[in-house]
Copies of this chain bind each other. A is one copy, B any other.
Amino acid sequence: MPESVLSLGDKAGLPPGSVVHVGEPVHEPARIDVLSYDASTFTVGGEDALNDLQTILQLPKTVWIKIQGIHDVGVVERVGHGCGLHPLVMEDIANTLQRPKKEDYGDYLFIALKLLEFDREKQRVEDRQVSIILGEGFVISFVEGANDPFAHLLERIRTAAGRIQRMGAEFLAYCLIDSVVDGYFSLTEELEDFIEALEEEVLLNPHPATVRRLYDLKLMTMAARRAVWPLRQMLGGLAGGDSVRFTDRTIPYLRDVHDHVVQALEALEELKENLTIMFELYHSSIGNRLNEVMKVLTLVATVFIPLTFLTGLYGMNFRHMPGLEWKWGYPLILSVMFTLATGMIILYRRKKWL
């Protein structure tokens, strides 16, 4: 059985429930922390703690099994079997293309989320898979990639004796979700800055590369929206008391994070509108340039073409042409030309073509 495939199409032939890492292969080992705490005590263990999982879960404490890196299918399976997870849940955890969803398996609640970050160097939005499992007195979190988004939470549990210590596993699960959702605001702000920076380019120096960049931004905004959108319903449901895992103590906080999701979605909608307007401005800007260029062409051509005709007229070699012999013929024709040109320019100005 392959340990890592690149896309869901490649996985087509495997039987359902196969735990395979779907996504780009990663070579660093997964980092595992097993925390157990209550309002006054705090213990932390590493990978070895997985061996005593049954004992730890029995403790009257909040247990947080925190796994950073999901490419190591062995770890996913070990934790999964230790906590009695359904094979399909393990499959979903390992699949980084999994879309956000929640599923209630009775004993535990499975939540899949997307962590979104704007990579300034590559100028694109990176998404990472976050899976949260909330059971009776324990939370398991799986995060794709090496960068730990929950470090500050771990720190807060270790150091301060606040709400997070007192309010148990469901509040911890809420804090994890809240961390992920807070990241969406940073993302939209970065995208807004990027768009603002493009506006000057659009108005003053529009070229096809600008369009390409606008489209990339649009695709990113839409991808972000797709990643955030399912949370609206999911958190709406949890805030409405869908799952017994979240009690009345935590539900106001879920309503709050649901609110944030709606606000992030609105910010993304606004970004999309702004981009649409940027496209329109681009086209106006380009159209305006063409118009200006055409006006210059028309001005020069329509002024000089009749004059050139006149010069041609008096350049003809007919023997009998009145005026050629006149002393004032040349100055006369020059002043006729000057009058003609001036008249046309005045006419054009009046018609606002210039």
Question: Taking beta carbons and an 8 Å cutoff, which residues of A are in contact with B?
Answer: 7-9, 11-13, 15-17, 86, 88, 91-92, 97-99, 101, 103, 105, 152, 156, 162-164, 174-175, 178, 182-183, 185-186, 188-189, 203, 205, 207-208, 211-212, 215, 218-219, 222-223, 226, 252-253, 255-257, 259-260, 262-263, 266, 270, 273-274, 277, 279-281, 284-298, 300-302, 304-309, 311-330, 333, 351-353
Contact = CB atoms under 8 A, between A and B. Distances in A.
Contacts of A99: 259, 262-263, 266
A311 B297 CA distance: 20
A154 to B, nearest CB: 13
Contacts of A319: 324-325, 329
Contact of A315 (B88, B256, B292, B311): B311
Among A105, A174, A266, A307, chain B packs the most CB atoms within 10 A around the CB of A307
B219 A277 contact: yes
A189 B9 contact: yes
Given A88-B256, A219-B277, 10 more contacts: A9-B186, A16-B178, A16-B256, A208-B281, A297-B301, A300-B305, A308-B309, A318-B324, A318-B326, A320-B329
Nearest to A256: B88
Contact of A162 (B15, B188, B279, B296): B15
Contacts of A12: 182-183, 185-186
A125 B321 CA distance: 68
Given A312-B311, A317-B317, A329-B320, A226 B266 contact: yes
A207 B288 CA distance: 8
Contacts of A325: 319
A300 B293 contact: no
Contacts of A315: 311-312, 315-317
Quick one: copies of this chain in the complex?
5
A318 B298 contact: no
Contacts of A162: 15
Contacts of A9: 182, 185-186, 188-189
A305 B306 CA distance: 9
Please provide the 7 A-B residue pairs with the shortest distance between their CB atoms, ordered closest to farther: A311-B312, A12-B182, A314-B316, A300-B302, A297-B298, A9-B186, A9-B185
A91 B183 CA distance: 19
Nearest to A99: B263
Contacts of A302: 296-297, 300-301
Among A11, A13, A285, A317, chain B packs the most CB atoms within 10 A around the CB of A317
A226 B92 CA distance: 27
